[in-house]
Amino acid sequence: MTRPVPAKPQTAQVNGITLSYTDAGQGPLVVMVMGTGSPGRVWHAHQQPTLVNAGFRVVTFDNRGIAPSSECADGFTMADMVADTAALIEHLGAGPALVVGTSLGARITQELALARPDLVRGAAMLATYGRSTPMLEAFSRGERAMYDENIELPTEYYAAVTAHMNLSPHTLADDRSARDWLDIIGFGGPQRSPGVRAQLSLHEREDDRLADYRGIARPALVVGFADDRTLPVHLAREVGEAIPGARYEQIERAGHFGYLEQPEAVNQVLIDFLRSVD
């Protein structure tokens, strides 16, 4: 496979803020939405080059809260992030778009398909959820408390906890793979910034939206990762059951970072879906 030349970051003034984005390839527009605390370039490891080679125009961006996009440290809402994505699609002038999101990005994608169906040709949600749970709320409170109390975990422990929560036990059972992942996660370190703290606030009071998702009328794909500890796979399955006519696919031997752990399987499912949307 020929790997595309990395696209240079651009900026757009949309919805009252600055969004940093990259735009690569030619063909039907695919806009990719990343999860909490992560930049859009995470998609560049596997998904962006594969989709470009498959004949799509792929736009990735840094959500508000993630520099160099506006951090908006005073806080914002899910509606703001949905409006950002809508405004970016309008700015690109090539909508409606195929929209792909993971984790928080998947929630944004669902809400966008509901609020602005005119901008969405099809929606693919990875590792998603439609409601909170006591465990999710407890982890979210803990993350906010560590930030607010300026608690920083030792690097090795942070890497171990992150790997345990986001990778499949099958991945971590291989010692060499586990060491590689621990090194990668430890090198990156925890993402601590006012913008990331503002993103964490989104998880304080999350409504149960499953009944509302019955109103999504665009082609939809929901992908669950079988070994996801962060957002257990039954939460993704619930979203797939709520959206009328949604296609549900489950990727085995994959945790919350399944798009990085099992990129070939994830990419094939995405390409099959994106090509099927009229």
Give average pLDDT by consecutive 10-residue segment, the chain, 278 residues. 65 97 97 96 97 98 97 95 98 95 98 98 98 94 94 93 97 97 88 90 91 98 98 98 98 98 98 95
Radius of gyration of the chain (CA): 18
Return the residue matching tokens 């171990």. 160
Q: Is 103 a catalytic residue?
A: yes
The span from the CA of 88 to the CA of 98, in Å, is 13
pLDDT of res. 6: 61
Nearest to 231 by CA among 81, 112, 127: 127
How many CA atoms, within 13 angstroms, populate the side-chain half-sphere of residue 42? 23
Q: Is 256 a catalytic residue?
A: yes
The beta strands (E) that lie in the chain are given as 10-14, 17-24, 29-33, 57-61, 97-102, 120-126, 220-225, 247-251
Q: For the chain, list the domains and their CATH numbers.
A: 10-132+207-276 (3.40.50.1820)
Tokens matching residue 251? 């990727």
Return the residue matching tokens 């619930």. 238
* Residues 73-91 pLDDT 10s: 999 999 999 999 999 999 9
* Residues 126-165 pLDDT 10s: 999 999 999 999 999 999 999 999 999 999 999 999 999 9
pLDDT of res. 263: 98
pLDDT of res. 21: 98
Are 165 and 262 contacting, i.e. CB atoms less than 8 angstroms apart?
no
Interacting residues of 234 by C-beta distance below 8 A, sequence separation 6+: none
The residue annotated as part of the active site, out of 103, 168, 203, 227, is 103
pLDDT of res. 1: 46
